[in-house]
Structure 1
Amino acid sequence: MRLHGRQWTRREIEARIGGIAQIGGVRRLTLTEGREAGTELIEVRTGAGLALEIAPSKGLDISLAQLWGTPISWQSPNGNAHPALYEPEGTGWLRTASGGLLMTCGLAHVGSPSRDESGSYGLHGRAHHTPARSVGIREEWIGDELHWSVFGVVEETAIFGSKLRLTRKLSGRLGDNRVEIRDRVENFGFRPAEHMMLYHFNFGFPLLDERTEIRLPEADREVRAGGPATLDSCASWEAPNPDAAETVYYHSLKREAVGADGMAEARIVQPEFPAAAGPRPTEVALRWSADTLPLLVQWRMPGAGEHVLGLEPANCRVEGREAERRRGGTLVLAPGQSVDYRLELNAD
């Protein structure tokens, strides 16, 4: 294990601590007050500076993310509101969405409220407000490396409707500021099921300020909405503006944007990130499987209070199911068919 600037064996580490939790690890917590009461969290500390709060109550999404004790995620004013308070109609999602590092949008619907012959769909779907089952945590030594993982299952079902199952695993190693997300979405019903998926990563202050640079993959770019907005503003950030309007950009990945491992990458570069030991150049990289997530949606909202950058790998746009059908249709999973997604977050 590499820790505090040098390599250690397992026994060298164990000789210096009373238990591994002194350095890092995984533990389960339950919140007790206000709208958050009853929401379960799983705290992950990597020992190298990255700390995450994973929320089994909310689709195994990631709430607060910190690097060296300083937040890199944007947290919504809703906090980790319990999913029982979720209002699925229209834009009610906005009343209980947690923000945080990751909100999963899907599984049957992404984007603006929509309606079709199967029913009505509220903003961004149900995944972020669906509690996971079969949740587990694991810490395991493999040689001199301590591997951690958090896993579970999220199901979106309806009698006479679609039946989609998300199996999620988040994992990493102590001493390494990296988290990997492996997802599989399966149609376990007996009729074809439409499937829309978007990974809503939310970054905020102080990772974002007027000095921040946003490095995006090679792509064909399009501004969907917002004003004033130009493609030039994709790569920079600005001070809070109470009158700012949200803007959505679509980045359709080019072949040269995809690495040999099939992954695309975007980076946020902060030249003076305020770590505990003092300001330091810091980069946060988001990587994702380009074959199953061919579109990067960029949500830019430099408002006051709502001061957040969304980098959102997706298999669809965000106008909703009706609009997606007009564009050529959503991904349809045949009975028993599944699709795999892989994402990584690296910080240094």
Structure 2
Amino acid sequence: MHLYGKHWTRREVEARVGGVGQIGGVRRMTLTEGKEAGTELIEVRTGAGLAFEIVPSKGMDISLALLWGTPISWQSPNGNVHPAFYEPEGTGWLRTASGGLLMTCGLAHVGSPSADESGSYGLHGRAHHTPARNVCIREEWAGEELEWSVTGVVEETAIFGSKLRLARELSGRLGDNRVAIRDRVENFGFRPAEHMMLYHFNFGFPLLDERTEIRFPEADREVRAGGGRAAPESCASWEAPDPAVEETVIYHTLRREAADGGGMAETRIVQPEFPAAGGARATEVALRWSADTLPLLAQWRMPGAGEHVLGLEPSNCFVEGREAERRRGGPLVLAPGQSIEYRLELNVV
């Protein structure tokens, strides 16, 4: 195990602590106040500086993420609202979306509210507000490494409608500022099911400031500016809060050469002076994803006041909703019994 700048054996670590939880680990807790009451969290501490909250009550998504005690995620003003308060119609999603490091959008719908012969769909679908079942925590030694994982199942079903199942695993190891996400979405019904999927990663202050640089993979870019606002001069920089600014969405359609030998594409956020431990250090946060199943990266730029957030969103669709997606030739359709896998990884360099 690599920890605190040195390599240790299991027994060397165990000899120095009353329990390994002194250094890091995984534990469950439940919130008790206001609209958050009853929301379950799973806290993960890597022992190397990265700590974050998995929320089984909300799609196995990730809420607050800290690096050396300093936030890297953007948190919405809603907090970790219990899914009982979810308003699925129209843009009601905005009242209870938690922000945080990851909000899953899908499984049947992503993007703007939409309606078709199968029904009406609110903003970004139901996944972020669907509690998981079969939630399991594992901490286990593998040789000299202590590995952890959290698994759970999220289902989106309707009588006479589609039946989609998301099986999610988040995993890593003690001493490593890295979290891997492996998802499998299955159509367990007996009719074809349309499937849209977007991983809404949200980064915020102080990882973002006027010195921040965003490095993208090779891609063709299409800018969709909100409210008639001109497109930003650069998608690779950031700016100070502006209460008058409007959101902008930039689509990065990955080129074949964007993926590495393992089929993964990568975007990096580079902060030359990230504040931590009473000082500042150059820090890079790398987001990687499977380019074959997530061929599009939506970049949500919202450098407003309060809503001061950069969204990096690997996806298999655009964000204008089902009607617009059909005009583009989509969405993806899973045959009965068919499944698809998504791989993602967050790594602090």
- TM-score by length of structure 2 reads 0.99
1:226-305 equivalence runs, <5 A: 226=226, 228-230=229-231, 232-305=233-306
CA offset at residue 228 of structure 1? Answer: 3.6
The list of structure 1 runs, each at least 4 consecutive aligned residues, that deviate by more than 2 angstroms after superposition, is: 225-233
What is the CA deviation profile of residues 16-68 of structure 1, one whole-angstrom value per residue up to 9, with x for unaligned ones? 00001100000000000001000000000000000010000000000000000
**Cross-structure match for 2:149:** 149
Distance 2:129 2:234 in 1: 32
Give the Cα–Cα distance (whole angstroms) in 2 for the partners of residues 229 and 185 of structure 1.
Answer: 37
Using the alignment, how far apart are the partners of 1:256 and 1:187 within structure 2? 31
Residue type matched to 1:70 in 2? T
Where does residue 135 of structure 2 map in the other structure?
Answer: 135
Paired with 1:74 and 1:37, the residues of 2 have a C-alpha distance of 21
What are the residue-to-residue correspondences of 1:1-348 with 2, within 5 Å?
1-226=1-226, 228-230=229-231, 232-348=233-349
Quote how far apart the aligned CAs of 1:269 are.
0.2
1:225, 1:248 within 8 Å by CA — same for their partners in 2? yes
May I ask how many residue pairs the two structures share in their alignment? 348
Q: CA deviation at 1:233?
A: 2.2
Deviations 1:301-328 (A, max 9, x none): 0000000000000000000001101111
- Given that 2:225 and 2:231 are in contact with CA atoms closer than 8 Å, whether structure 1 keeps it comes out as no
CA displacement at 1:276 relative to structure 2? 1.2
Please report how far the alpha carbon of residue 225 of structure 1 lies from its aligned counterpart in structure 2 after TM superposition: 2.2
* Displacement of 1:277: 4.0
| Kept after mapping to 2: 8 A contact 1:221/1:231 | no
**Matched residue of 2:140: which SS?**
strand
Q: Work out the CA distance in 1 between the residues paired with 2:215 and 2:317.
A: 22
Cα separation, 2, equivalents of 1:185 and 1:256: 26
TM-score scaled by length of structure 1: 0.99
Q: Distance in 2 between matches of 1:232 and 1:164?
A: 40
Moved more, 276-285 or 202-211: 276-285
- Matches of 1:77 and 1:133, distance apart in 2: 27
CA contact (8 A) 1:222 1:231 kept: no
For 1:122, give the aligned amino acid: G
**Mapped partners of 1:25, 1:110: distance in 2:** 33
Separation in structure 2 between the aligned mates of residue 223 and residue 310 of structure 1, nearest angstrom: 14
Gaps of 5+ in 2: none
The answer to whether the 8 Å contact 2:113/2:123 transfers is yes
CA deviations over 1:228-247 (Å, ceiling 9, x no partner): 44363210000000000000
Aligned partners of 2:111, 2:156: CA distance in 1, in Å? 17
More deviation, 323-332/89-98: 323-332
String of CA shifts for 1:172-219, please: whole Å, max 9, x gaps: 000000000000000000000000000000000000000000001110
Q: Quick one: which amino acid aligns to residue 105 of structure 2?
A: C
In 1, Cα distance between the equivalents of 2:47 and 2:230?
40
- Measured on the aligned residues, the alpha-carbon RMSD in Å equals 0.7
Contact 1:64 / 1:75 at 8 angstroms: preserved in 2? yes
Q: CA deviation at 1:224?
A: 1.3
Percent of aligned positions that are identical: 84
Give secondary structure in 1 for the equivalent of 2:234. helix
- 1:157 and 1:95 mapped to 2: Cα distance? 23
Report if the CA contact (8 A) 2:297-2:313 is conserved.
yes
Are the counterparts in 2 of residues 64 and 71 from structure 1 also a CA contact under 8 Å? yes
Rounded Cα–Cα distance in structure 1 between residues aligned with 2:186 and 2:132: 15
> Is the 2:224–2:231 contact (alpha carbons within 8 Å) kept by the matching residues of 1?
no
What SS does the aligned partner of 1:89 have? coil
Q: Is the 8 A contact 1:223 1:229 kept in 2?
A: no
User: Residues 211 and 65 of structure 1: is their aligned pair in 2 closer, same or farther, counting only changes over 3 Å?
Assistant: same
Counterpart amino acid of 2:291? A
Structure 2 residue matching 1:94: 3-state secondary structure: helix
CA distance in structure 1 between the aligned counterparts of 2:63 and 2:126, rounded to whole angstroms: 17
